[in-house]
């Protein structure tokens, strides 16, 4: 402020000195002429600057008083301030968004030096924004395949590698070109995709294996028949019976595979009222049919509550538990079905047997497809290894869960728990049965 007024005083004094010198040197006329010329020059300079200011404000061709100029300047300043604020808010939003991103992002310069990285890059690649900016990335990610891939400069060929921080994590790394010779590396976690892929491969291998055995047996008998000159009727009977057994096994396996595929394919389940007490009677009869008098089969029903769900699916799930109990309990044992309400309002269907029981280490894996404790025993009794996988799936669709308790040599207790909001207590009015789908 002071320096401004001091400068103004000096310039004014300097300009005033010129006409004064002329006045004393060449007389008053010359002095006054020079003074007028000086004033005119100063005025012209000021107008020129005024015109420049108006041009900058975009008002040179319009009417603009000093008041307008001040108003416009004030508006410009405020606009600039707002813009700066918005730019900063946008930057902050970008920073938050990139740090929330599950994919790791690393910006590299032309020499593969790190320019910037996000939070996921710290978690997945073990890099640090504070420590590693400016470092060559291949010094930090020391992986022969990575270094080789980096030098290839191939933008459309992603690299698959294990995370250097979490060894069980698989990453798919891609590179995309950016302006100013920079490149962005991004790493996507594909562990889950890999796991599902491995499961699919296992599943196909298992199905092929399961189908191969009965088909090989049937083919063997047919070959024997082909070589016989005149079939012996007694042997023929025996072989046909064995072949039927094997074809039955294939049919059961296909039935279970189709049931699983149907459960997986049908995303939105159509609910109806499930007459659980009637279903219990049906299951009791089925259990007695399967047992054919070899076991003591009982039903303990302490509620007549119904359910909201799919009758067909629950029948198949509960039926699997019942058939397992009968099949894995030696003759003379007991199988007890139960239908009860718990204090929290959920409903439980239980199957208790006095069979061989299951060792604790197998229990968490029983619902995996094709997992069996004793493969031979399961096959001998007509098992496919898919029963409990179906049970788990059906219960999941009903927001329920399966509880397994077992003591080797004493027996097992399988309990299907259904949540309270699917239970229609004894006295509550029932839902109308689901309408038949149109056009069927």
Ligand X SMILES: Nc1ncnc2c1ncn2[C@@H]1O[C@H](COP(=O)(O)OP(=O)(O)O)[C@@H](O)[C@H]1O
* Residues near ligand X (CB under 6 A), total: 22
Which member of 124, 169, 324, 406 binds Mg ion (CB under 5 A)? 324
Give the residue with the Cβ less far from ligand X, 274 or 358.
Answer: 358
What span, in angstroms and rounded, lies between the C-alpha atoms of 3 and 9? 10
Which member of 54, 373, 405, 419 binds ligand X (CB under 6 A)? 373
Which member of 218, 356, 395, 418 binds ligand X (CB under 6 A)? 356
Cβ of residue 365: shortest distance to ligand X, in angstroms? 9
Cβ of residue 370: shortest distance to ligand X, in angstroms? 8
Site string for ligand X, 395-434 (x = CB under 6 A): -----------------x----------------------
Q: Which stretch binds Mg ion (CB under 5 A): 122-130, 329-337, 385-393, 424-432?
A: 385-393
Cβ of residue 187: shortest distance to ligand X, in angstroms? 39
Kind and range of the H or E element at 33?
helix 28-57
Residue 122 in contact with ligand X, rule: CB under 6 A: no
Cβ of residue 203: shortest distance to Mg ion, in angstroms? 17
User: With CB cut-offs between 5 and 8 Å by kind, which of Mg ion, ligand X, none does residue 146 bind?
Assistant: none
User: With CB cut-offs between 5 and 8 Å by kind, which of ligand X, Mg ion, none does residue 353 bind?
Assistant: ligand X
Residue 322 in contact with ligand X, rule: CB under 6 A: no
Which member of 171, 185, 388, 416 binds ligand X (CB under 6 A)? 388
For residue 294, give the nearest of 332, 267, 262 by alpha carbon: 332
Cβ of residue 329: shortest distance to ligand X, in angstroms? 7
DSSP codes, 82-151: HHHHHHHHHHHHHHHHHHH-SSEEEEE-TTSBEEEE-HHHHHHH---HHHHTTSBHHHHS--HHHHHHHH
Give the residue with the Cβ less far from ligand X, 104 or 337.
Answer: 337
Q: Are 125 and 164 in contact (CB under 8 A)?
A: yes
Which member of 109, 119, 275, 374 binds ligand X (CB under 6 A)? 374
Kind and range of the H or E element at 296?
strand 296-301
What span, in angstroms and rounded, lies between the C-alpha atoms of 419 and 403? 13
What span, in angstroms and rounded, lies between the C-alpha atoms of 150 and 185? 10
Q: Are 115 and 108 in contact (CB under 8 A)?
A: yes
Structure tokens at 395: 């219960």
Cβ of residue 390: shortest distance to Mg ion, in angstroms? 8
The bridge status of strand 183-189 relative to strand 170-177 is antiparallel
Mapped onto helix, strand or coil, the DSSP state of residue 416 is strand
Which member of 19, 387, 400, 411 binds Mg ion (CB under 5 A)? 387
Give the residue with the Cβ less far from ligand X, 131 or 212.
Answer: 212
Alpha carbon of residue 99 to chain centroid: 18
| Neighbouring C-beta atoms of residue 110, cutoff 10 Å | 9
What residues line the site for ligand X (CB under 6 A)?
Answer: 320, 324-325, 328, 353, 355-356, 358, 366, 371-374, 378, 383-389, 412
């Amino acid at each position: 402020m002071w320096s401004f007024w001091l400068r103004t005083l000096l310039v004014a004094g300097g300009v005033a000195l010129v006409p004064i010198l002329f006045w004393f040197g060449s007389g008053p006329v010359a002095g006054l002429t020079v003074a007028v010329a000086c004033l005119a020059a100063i005025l012209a300079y000021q107008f020129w600057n005024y015109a420049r200011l108006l041009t900058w404000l975009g008002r040179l061709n319009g009417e603009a008083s000093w008041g307008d100029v001040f108003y416009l300047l004030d508006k410009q300043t405020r606009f600039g301030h707002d813009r700066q604020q918005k730019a900063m808010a946008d930057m902050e939003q970008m920073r938050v968004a990139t740090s929330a991103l599950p994919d790791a992002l690393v910006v590299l310069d032309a020499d593969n030096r790190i320019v910037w990285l996000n939070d996921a890059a710290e978690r997945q690649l073990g890099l640090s924004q504070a420590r590693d900016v400016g470092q060559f990335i291949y010094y930090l990610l020391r992986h022969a395949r990575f270094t080789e891939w980096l030098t290839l400069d191939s933008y459309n060929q992603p690299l698959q590698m294990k995370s250097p921080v979490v060894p069980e994590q698989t990453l798919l790394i891609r590179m995309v070109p950016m302006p100013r010779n920079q490149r962005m590396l991004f790493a996507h976690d594909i562990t889950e995709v890999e796991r599902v892929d491995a499961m699919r491969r296992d599943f196909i291998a298992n199905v092929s294996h399961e189908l191969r055995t009965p088909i090989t047996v049937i083919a063997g008998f047919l070959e024997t028949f082909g070589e016989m000159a005149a079939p012996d009727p007694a042997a023929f009977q025996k072989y046909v019976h064995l072949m039927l057994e094997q074809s039955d096994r294939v049919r059961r396996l296909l039935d279970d595979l189709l049931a699983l595929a149907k459960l997986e394919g049908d995303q939105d389940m159509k609910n109806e009222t499930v007459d659980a007490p009637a279903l219990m009677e049906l299951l009791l009869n089925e259990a007695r049919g399967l047992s054919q008098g070899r076991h003591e089969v009982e039903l303990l029903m302490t509620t007549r509550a119904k359910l909201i769900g799919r009758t067909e699916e629950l029948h198949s799930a509960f039926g699997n538990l019942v058939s397992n109990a009968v099949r894995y309990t030696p003759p003379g044992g007991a199988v007890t079905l139960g239908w009860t309400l718990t204090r929290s309002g959920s409903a439980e269907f239980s199957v208790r047997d006095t069979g061989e029981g299951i060792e604790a280490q197998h229990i968490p894996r029983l619902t995996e497809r094709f997992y069996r404790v004793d493969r031979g025993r399961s096959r001998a009794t007509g098992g496919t290894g898919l029963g409990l996988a179906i049970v788990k799936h059906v219960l999941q669709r009903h927001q329920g869960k399966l509880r397994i308790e077992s003591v080797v040599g004493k027996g097992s207790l399988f309990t299907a728990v259904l949540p309270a909001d699917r239970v229609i207590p004894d006295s509550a009015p029932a839902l109308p049965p689901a309408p038949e789908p149109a056009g069927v």
